[in-house]
Structure 1
């Protein structure tokens, strides 16, 4: 089916784990005529959960994409993972859509994942729809849930349809306001949402006040509705039962009639090579600009790059560049994804989601384009959670080191919240993720896909070092070996910077006492010393180095001499600048049964944690927010399971770095066996 940009709707299904996103995904595909029978999460027959780990665990781990062509509308649906452990894949999908449908379990109400997804979608400027699922669950108090949603997320949350007959049907209250429902009045709900919509636009409001509702055409209502969504002035609430299909067709009709198409959504935050914001206008005749938001390493197809087209038209045989590469690749095959199936298509226009295969240089968040006029263009990165949970890996079988490295690279390509590091000084390979479960799934995939088994152990904590005072340093490097000598002399000073400021290198040399060509060598020496640390062997940060004087010799001065002089002058200065060790402090959110609150808060306090607040959740669950040193949380998964009978959950996000207590610094310093280089 051919379609235009105005006929496309891009929607991500997000929300808390267990809200029924995947079941809704199946129900929508069934209602849209894509599949004959909805699949089952329990039986592992869904279109989205096709990975062996997803089937075994009964929940989504990656995002899955499928499309529906219905009533002249092309709807791209992205099913996302609900567990916070797999947020990377969920958030990456937000870069490809105009609308996020946040699915809420009618029985459980507002949960932690509901809040997270609402916040992420709002920050990205995306239209939001609250989809209340499982409305036919016995005991679901839907009217009270609407009040809760409005209390939690604002009065702009309003129903566009209402359940009736105990959740066995839904009635439209936007275009139609008559009929009895399980709520007190469909007409009242109709009036409430109409008032909210028309007030966004002066012309629409004027026509409504002068001539009444009958004076407004469906086009006027659509334009006002879409503007409300784009500006966050309205968050529609829709009611469905994905299990029975109630409300599912109505949701598809809502998507086609009222949700924004790609030309109506808020402009994506693209920037040029200098960081200046630029507008990508969605013109199909202009140069191609597309953003890769998902990578799949398929054992049969090879590497698959899934992208959203923002401008221009991609056809088979189109030559495309990846970022600033000089050499283009030719699009041999262009695919549309329907779950695990790859459907070959002729072209992809602005708003389309498509994929290309077997392009090795393609990577997550790459910009594809067809002209060097677009060199340097990039989509503003999503604010992904920082991977804080780490494991050190050792191949179980000798000779698999290279295979392990290649497997980790492939897995990290697919997940923006998976990091791989190799610590040369310890010969230690470390992988970092969002949680114990995140890394456990990654290791199982590595074994199943690539045949690599590993042994694991806790890695060193990612401490850092810095300085607490100003100091000056000096070193003269002089060597004479009978032939050409080496000479370089450097005077510099170091100053502490604010936490998180990083590193600054400043040139204040006057009169040419050190020629400009040797300043990069001095900086190289400084950076070498910073990597090795000054107190306990950890990298240094948050400091400024200013080179202000020195000497050189017209014959004997060489780059190697100034590398050594810069390194040792820096070490001299740091030794006098009160060096300190910094430890990572993480934001901890712990969801527990209320009965466990005493044990959990006591345990956190014993780990030098600061309790920042608590929130009571529905169902008697308590959410504790705290900040704690990462080093104290090494065994926390096991401890939390024991304290809560396996019912506790937690997540970590890097907050900032703080100086360690003096006893900890002494312990780290004594354990460090520095390697002293000899020149």
Structure 2
């Protein structure tokens, strides 16, 4: 075997994995086999921040033999968890980029993507779930359902991803798995059902009892297999009760098990392990139930049964329906169901990009067919054909070279120019995968390099980051000439500024964070506007009559042509439509985008010589401004859903801090000595809150926030924003 070391982010090992005749690589892992699709699992590890995702993934890698030592997130040895390969991740103790790896459990192969928990990096979770067949939703046994748990649940539903739940941190004070299951049912509306019962609680956690096999598993020293025992006598009645609940819950949504119960005199006879396992698998894949397993990743408890559960209950690639769109006929897309067949034409989705020293690293999910090094494939979205360069399988920051990848697998290609979300196919195929949901940015910063010497690297960094991350946007403000970067939050933008410094050696200067304000109207506003200009020769003439009102589609804008006859010819209607699009990009109040406006043209007039598309486009600007001013205009600001967790002793200080930031506390939950507030706070008032919370709680408090809605600003802020905008325009016109 030949091997060589080279680097992607400074110290990344690339192994040239020579496949033997059985397709086994140097780690004993089958990279590709035409018969192994049913034994393959593609899973994501997702959760609210600080629920233990990366710690759990570290244990999975250890127990499957992929790593030889366990290192902790924020560990004292300074090494950090395997899946946190970026220096920034190790320093901050959070996951920033999703990381892929693969391992073997028994005869089965598992591709794993460890995703971030922080809402600022939600696109990483979004694109991972877009390509995965199943997921493990990790819950904290103390905190239960938190704000980001709700977001992750929404993402799993969006892509129809079956999941199992792992209730983690049961060794902590105040942990209660039954409370968490109740929250899953009430807050997330999931048909959650326990497959295990913990033995001992908090610091006395020893193991779990499996309700399907009715065996106890006691976990001892790190790295050892659990000891299988009979159920302790003091748990027999409780286990019987929970197993009854399990069987009845499954039978309510599974006809096969329901029929079995009728035919076999239930509850006098209980279903055997094989019958019950098959029923749980069917209902989990159909997303009718969510199996719940328990343990503590940090204490090495419950990890092996979770791996068994992933294999038993989550689908293989050929058990999940995958739909593509056939674009071979122009303007007519038809749905096509893909098959996990290595002999069918190749179809794959580029779901994530990274920039490395070898060029762009493109993460690919293969849905159908086989991808081989040297093959010629087509980028359907860009209409380009490329030759497949090097193919690698990812193990966090390490790459292991392979010659071919089969259906259901996740791999990466080097040096391919494409965008996140592009579909690649066989040359004779024109399928495209459906796009993923990309949330809109909520915060912006002005940014520029400190010195002119860094301009080239500055531009290169911005270009790379935009390609990598669809939620990171860059635009140039035409009036001020400033470069504006936009993202999902303060931390999101802070990370990119820091990466620019470390990876591109560019020191930058950032301006005050800009909030994504929006402009709208609160009532109907009429217009009757005539644009007339005569300066010798052909002039300009356009007359428009109509109104603007609140849109019926929430924040969406609408254009409606209600002109009867040819008072305004169709060619000029198109010009009006374009003029309306220009108007909503920068509103009349403070220059922010306009939302939630329905613009209706009902009548007008033209001149046989002087009317033109340009005249009507100019007239639209005047008509829109007239209607906008008549429609009681207002400014909307983003309101964030903020979840703050803290020890009870700091309750008063934190509440007064929220009130000072004009926030409203909508819910409070208490668990042991810990307190959690759910608040709604204007984004404009949240800047610098992380520092304030740390100082108020002696570093013990933490918070997360995500976009909730836009609402009207206060009259005071409205006047302030108008004054600032007016002052800015005056200075620019000097």
TM over 0.5: yes
Q: Give the Å deviation of 1:301.
A: 2.6
CA distance in 2, matches of 1:603, 1:191: 48
Select 1:150's aligned residue among 181, 190, 211.
Answer: 181
- Tell me which residue corresponds to 1:251: 306
Summarize deviations over 1:365-410 as a string: whole Å, max 9, x none: 333333686456414526x4x5434332122112544532331232
Q: Map 1:437-452 onto structure 2 (within 5 A).
A: 437-452=491-506
Structure 1, unaligned stretches of length 5 or more?
none
Query: Is contact 2:340–2:408 with CA below 8 Å preserved after alignment?
Result: no
Note if contact 1:161-1:237 (Cα within 8 Å) is conserved in structure 2: no
Partner Cα distance (2:530, 2:367) in 1: 55
Following superposition, the deviation at residue 501 of structure 1 comes to 3.8
Aligned residue for 2:260? Answer: 207
- Pick from 425, 435, 448 the counterpart of residue 394 of structure 1: 448
Matches within 5 A, 1:82-121: 82-105=117-140, 113-114=148-149, 116-118=151-153, 120-121=155-156
Alpha carbons 2:164, 2:310 under 8 Å: kept: no
Q: Secondary structure of the residue that 2:309 maps to in structure 1?
A: helix
Aligned counterpart in structure 2 of residue 180 of structure 1, from 231, 235, 238? 231
CA deviation profile, 1:191-248 (whole Å, cap 9, x unmatched)? 5544544554333333355347999676644431212212444433334454564443
Instruction: Return the offset for 1:553.
Output: 4.6
Structure 1 residues 490, 73: CA separation in 2 closer, same or farther (over 3 Å shift)?
A: same
CA distance in 1, matches of 2:609, 2:234: 91
1:119-518 pair list within 5 angstroms: 120-122=155-157, 124-133=159-168, 137=171, 145-154=176-185, 156-160=192-196, 162-163=198-199, 167=205, 170=208, 172-177=210-215, 179-181=230-232, 184-185=235-236, 188=240, 189-190=242-243, 192-197=245-250, 200-211=253-264, 220-243=275-298, 245-265=300-320, 267=321, 278=335, 280-284=337-341, 285-298=343-356, 300-361=357-418, 363-370=419-426, 374=430, 377-381=433-437, 384=439, 386-467=440-521, 468-482=523-537, 485-498=538-551, 500-518=554-572
Greater shift, 566-575 or 373-382, is seen at 373-382
Secondary structure at the counterpart of residue 36 of structure 1: coil
Rounded Cα–Cα distance in structure 2 between residues aligned with 1:199 and 1:585: 41
2:723 corresponds in structure 1 to 670
**Is structure 2 residue 37 aligned with structure 1 residue 5?**
yes
1:633 to 686, 690, 701: 686
State yes or no: 1:67 paired with 2:102.
Answer: yes
- 1:174 positional shift: 1.6
Q: 372-381 vs 225-234, which deviates more? A: 372-381
Q: Find the residue that maps to 2:461 and give its secondary structure.
A: helix
Instruction: Supply the distance in 2 between the matched residues of 1:624 and 1:108 (Cα, whole angstroms).
Output: 13
| Alignment partners' CA distance in 2, 1:395 and 1:306 | 31
Decide whether the 8 Å contact of 1:197 with 1:234 is kept in 2. yes
> What is the rounded CA distance, in whole Å, between the counterparts of 1:112 and 1:575 in structure 2?
39
Is the CA contact 2:197–2:239 (under 8 Å) kept in the aligned structure 1? no
- Give the C-alpha shift of residue 639 in structure 1: 3.8
Q: 1:209 to 1:519 in 2, by over 3 A?
A: closer
Asked if structure 1 preserves the Cα contact closer than 8 Å seen for 2:325 and 2:431, the reply is no
Offset at residue 152 of structure 1 (A): 1.5
**What do the CA deviations read for 1:529-552 (whole angstroms, capped 9, x no partner)?**
443432333332322333344444
Give the number of aligned pairs.
666
Contact map agreement 2:346 2:425 (CA 8 A) in 1: yes
Change (3 A) 1:152 1:671: closer
TM-score (norm 1): 0.86
Q: What SS does the aligned partner of 1:131 have?
A: strand
SS in 1 for 2:509: strand
Distance 1:242 1:336, change over 3 A: same
Counterpart CA distance in 1 for 2:298 and 2:313 is 24
Unaligned runs of 5+ in 2: 1-29, 186-190, 216-228
Q: How far did residue 76 of structure 1 move?
A: 0.8
Asked if 1:537 corresponds to 2:594, the answer is no
Rate the CA distance shift 1:597–1:246 in 2: closer, same or farther, 3 A.
closer
- Asked whether 1:527 is paired with 2:577, we answer no
Aligned residue for 1:611, secondary structure, equals strand
Question: 1:150-185: per-residue Cα shift (whole Å, max 9, x none)?
Answer: 222237321347548955555543234471349712
Tell me if structure 2 keeps the 8 A contact 1:466–1:579.
yes
Question: Residues 492 and 333 (structure 1 numbering): CA distance in 2 closer, same or farther, change over 3 Å?
Answer: farther
Task: State the alpha-carbon separation in 1 of the partners of residues 323 and 352 from structure 2.
Answer: 18
Q: Tell me: CA distance 1:158–1:395, structure 2 relative to 1, closer, same or farther (3 Å).
A: same
C-alpha separation between the residues in 2 aligned to 1:215 and 1:657? 53
CA distance in 1, matches of 2:409, 2:720: 57
CA positional deviation for 1:9? 0.8
Q: Which moved more, 1:109-118 or 1:57-66?
A: 109-118
